[in-house]
Amino acid sequence: MTDLLTGTERTEALATFTGAGWTVVEGRDAVFKAFKFKNFVDAFGWMSKVALWSEKLNHHPEWSNVYNRVEVTLITHDCDGLSALDLKLAMKMDSLA
């Protein structure tokens, strides 16, 4: 079971998330970000790269894609909130974008 982020660790993680353009989802212990790409092929290519990393981490995003836009919500369902896995995957998503 993955542990929720708490205390200083949570505060620092939220600062990292918001500093990178992620927002806290109202009513959920989750974060959200909309990624915009040049076209559908770039958006889908990014999603494919993220999918491979998600499998490596055994942590999968909630996401949707319309043309060149991908909307992502991260939450760790095992602990029903934010965990270190969310931070790790968010950082990877940002670096791949």
pLDDT in tens, 52-88: 999 999 999 999 999 999 999 999 999 999 999 999 9
pLDDT range class, residue 1, cuts 50, 70, 90: confident
2: how many CB neighbours lie within 10 A of its CB?
16
At residue 27, the pLDDT reads 96
Separation of CA 19 from chain center: 14
Q: How far is CA 84 from CA 13, 14, 40, 45, in A?
A: 8, 11, 30, 25
Do 21 and 42 touch, CB atoms closer than 8 A? no
pLDDT in tens, 9-32: 999 999 999 999 999 999 999 999
Write down the CATH superfamily of domain 7-96: Transcriptional coactivator/pterin dehydratase (3.30.1360.20)
